[in-house]
Chains A and B, each alone.
Chain A
């Protein structure tokens, strides 16, 4: 494309088929090439932190499940770890293993969901249908263990609400065995297909240095060769007892380029890794209870006495999920801050998308596996001034509007 051509702006979002959640991108395009871009998140802010600060920790655990439809376990786990540290609650050993199994199953279903979305963004619908059908097995397993397909509601302050019983193990093993075959097939289909290779190799590049400077986390960082995995850097739950290594793209391709292809490699290899982690958990599962205290009243009483602050870090499927909690001897926490992985990763879009083609925008945007509903935390209303409306304010506003409509 020649330089003399005038550039024009293309808005993508807040609602667009390429975006699974609302976010507004503005692209300055020259011909088919992205010259410059900007994005405005904050379209799905729901005030969850605000809601949480008016509830007790046991209730917040269920609220955490609903921060994100995909990585509910990670958010709840991060929050519970923060509260458990403040209130000095010791989680039973077996509960750690159950938490790990559920978190890894979540990683499997999240990565497969992402793989399907990525295939769809590339216009490869056959692979999209295949990946999502394969994902159903993980969802069924999660339903068997937790009782729910999404919003599992299994992790709670002090442990987990349900144990994995012996009679469930064969079913888990059966699904894992089935996955062993299917992941090999998926790896071949995704990584050896020419049309995917042509589209993904050397698109959306991010070097290791850029990944470090932009504070990226999770698979996005690892695909650029940045060794960063909370499960290994600061082990939590049962990860300290388990044997696994960090997934980097050179384990498959022999080199690290930091492109979209490498991000596919990392996520698919992590599915394989998660299966081995689940197997190890099942083999080494210690006996015992899964809850620090069966009576919720006692948990609440302990939390109410707690004072201090702590943060919980969890490696969510998309990267580090960070919860900060401060408690001050009251029923609800004094402060609760959620930093989801997309919050750390989203700035890398600016680097990745510059000088890329319009055709590659969807796959590059999807390549960090964005989750806007996890990320959007601040509502700025009006010219940079923010505020929280109380129930009285909302009531007053609605009465005013009704009067205005009635014309009196």
Chain B
């Protein structure tokens, strides 16, 4: 019993360190990619680490009109929630630490917690900019949750139709390639859902074109406007960890392949090879759904954002779902 608790504690700390380091590294890579695409030199890849280090040295200012408790608790909750998501997600072929206690629906809920914490922090800071930012963040959340839910549910449903036990468990999804189960119609549907998830990622991470809640030129940082020093560092870390979580989710759902599935190798080699391959997949996801999109777009107005996610991505997602249902009903691919 004691060893189990110890293992859990060590595992949690390990995952937190992994999430923060890998997340900051991903942000550094994203900034470098974006800079190269904009014909700039860009900052060194370690720049996010330097930024966090600098923020931690700075004063932590709590504005006079702020609700101190909520204002200070929000960044902590955001970071804790982001790290918690990682406890339910695999790294390569290393299965999630708490995989048995939660499934993919829990991850969907956990993904909203950092955003909710930011909203609470924004409202608590008592600045009109932050208030507008918080309102926008809530609207954004409502907008992207629907397409995200469609993508996740469709995949889990297709697995269950194929007769796979516990289709909502992360370990099941991570160990089964949905592409090998679906037939031609299913593939088409999966491609549409992949597109939807690629567009949900920038909204989930508040990056251009969906950075309306922070909108530098409009709201001067929006819901983060009053944050400084340690609290801002915690929010930045939370964003970094969330980047890992979102990219991992995309990898688990759509790109679950591991080299050890195809090439026979020793167990330890397999873990390392799978982890390295996993990192490449995550970087690719970040490149396509964060860097490329943010380089090629202007910021959306909040009403355009809602239209895009509810209407266009909603329709694309539903089309994908219908194709997957058709695929199963027509008996294409694997059906139990």
**A residues apposed to B, CB below 8 Å:** 8-11, 16-18, 29, 32, 119-127, 129-130, 133, 193, 195-196, 198-199, 357-362
Check if B129 is an interface residue, CB within 8 A of chain A: yes
A363 CB to nearest B CB, Å:
8
Q: Which chain A positions have C-beta within 8 A of B39?
A: 129-130, 133
Q: Are A18 and B302 in contact (CB under 8 A)?
A: no
Residues on the B chain within 8 Å of A126, using CB: 37-38, 295-296
How many residue pairs bridge A and B at CB < 8 Å? 79
Residues of A within 8 A of B219 (CB): 358
CA distance A17 to B215 in the complex (A): 10
- Establish whether residues B218 and A362, one from each chain, have CB atoms under 8 Å apart when the complex forms: yes
Chain B residues, Cβ within 8 Å of A359: 212, 215, 218, 299, 301-302
Q: Which residue of A lies closest to B304 (CB)?
A: A198
Write out the residue numbers on chain A whose beta carbons fall within 8 Å of the beta carbon of B265.
none
Q: Check B209 for interface membership: any CB of A closer than 8 A.
A: yes
Shortest B206–chain A CB gap in Å is 12
Contact A357 B132 (CB under 8 A): no
Check if A357 sits within 8 Å of B38, measured CB to CB: no
Chain B residues near A121: list those with CB within 8 A: 217
Chain B count of residues within 8 A CB distance of the other chain: 29
Q: Is the CB of B296 within 8 A of A123?
A: no
Q: A8-B128, A130-B38, A359-B215 are in contact. Are A124 and B297 (CB under 8 A)?
A: yes
How far is A360 from B304 in the complex, measured between Cα atoms in Å? 12
List residues of B (206-234) whose CB comes within 8 Å of A's CBs.
208-209, 211-212, 215-220
* Interface of B toward A, CB cutoff 8 Å: 37-40, 128-129, 131-132, 135, 208-209, 211-212, 215-220, 295-304
Q: Which residues from B are CB-within-8-Å of A360?
A: 301
**Are A196 and B298 CB-contacts (below 8 A) given A8-B128, A10-B132?**
yes
Contact B40 A362 (CB under 8 A): no
Residue in chain B with minimal CB distance to A32: B302
Question: Using Cβ atoms and an 8 Å threshold, which residues of chain A touch B132?
Answer: 10, 29, 32, 358
Once bound together, how far apart are the Cα atoms of A18 and B40, in whole Å?
22
Residues of A within 8 A of B299 (CB): 122-124, 199, 359
Q: In the complex, what distance in Å separates the CA atom of A126 from the CA atom of B42?
A: 13
CB of A30, distance to nearest CB on chain B (Å):
12
11 further A-B contacts with Cβ under 8 Å, apart from A29-B132, A32-B303, A123-B298, are A17-B216, A123-B216, A123-B217, A125-B38, A125-B208, A126-B38, A126-B295, A129-B38, A129-B39, A358-B218, A359-B212
Given A17-B220, A32-B132, A130-B38, CB of A195 within 8 Å of CB of B298: yes
Neighbouring B residues of A119 by C-beta, 8 Å: 298
| B residues near A133, Cβ cutoff 8 Å | 39
- Which chain A residues lie closer than 8 Å to B208 at the CB level? 123, 125
Report Cα–Cα, A335/B300, bound state, in Å.
49
In the complex, chain B residues whose CB is within 8 Å of the CB of A17: 216-217, 220
Contact A10–B38 (Cβ < 8 Å): no
* Beta-carbon nearest neighbor of B299 in chain A: A123
Which among A17, A124, A359 has the highest number of chain B CB atoms within 10 Å? A359
| Bound Cα distance from A361 to B219, whole angstroms | 10
B134 CB, min distance to chain A CBs, angstroms: 13
What residues of A have a CB within 8 angstroms of the CB of B296 in the complex?
A: 126
B217 A18 Cβ-Cβ under 8 A: yes
With A122-B299, A123-B208 as contacts: A361 and B218 at CB distance below 8 Å: yes
B128–A362 touching, CB < 8 Å: no
| A200 to chain B: closest residue by CB | B298
User: How many Å lie between the Cα of A32 and that of B40 in the bound state?
Assistant: 35
* Measured CA separation A10–B132 after assembly (Å): 10
Report chain A residues within 8 Å CB of B37: 126
Chain A residues with CB under 8 Å of B298's CB are: 119, 122-124, 127, 193, 195-196, 199
A195 contacts B218, C-beta separation under 8 Å:
no
CB distance from A117 to the nearest CB of B (A): 10
Closest 9 A-B residue pairs measured CB to CB? A123-B299, A124-B298, A195-B298, A122-B298, A359-B301, A129-B38, A18-B217, A362-B217, A10-B128
Q: Which residue of B lies closest to A366 (CB)?
A: B217
Residues of B within 8 A of A198 (CB): 300-301, 304
Chain A min CB distance to B27 (Å): 16
From A9, A18, A127, give the contact of B218 (CB < 8 A).
A18
Q: A residues within 8 A CB of B303? A: 32, 357
Give Cα A193 to B295, complex, Å: 13
Please state if A195 and B217 are interface contacts (CB–CB under 8 Å): no
A-B contact pairs, 20 of them (CB 8 A): A8-B128, A11-B128, A17-B216, A18-B217, A122-B298, A123-B215, A123-B217, A124-B297, A124-B298, A125-B38, A125-B295, A126-B38, A193-B298, A198-B300, A198-B301, A199-B298, A199-B301, A357-B302, A359-B301, A360-B301
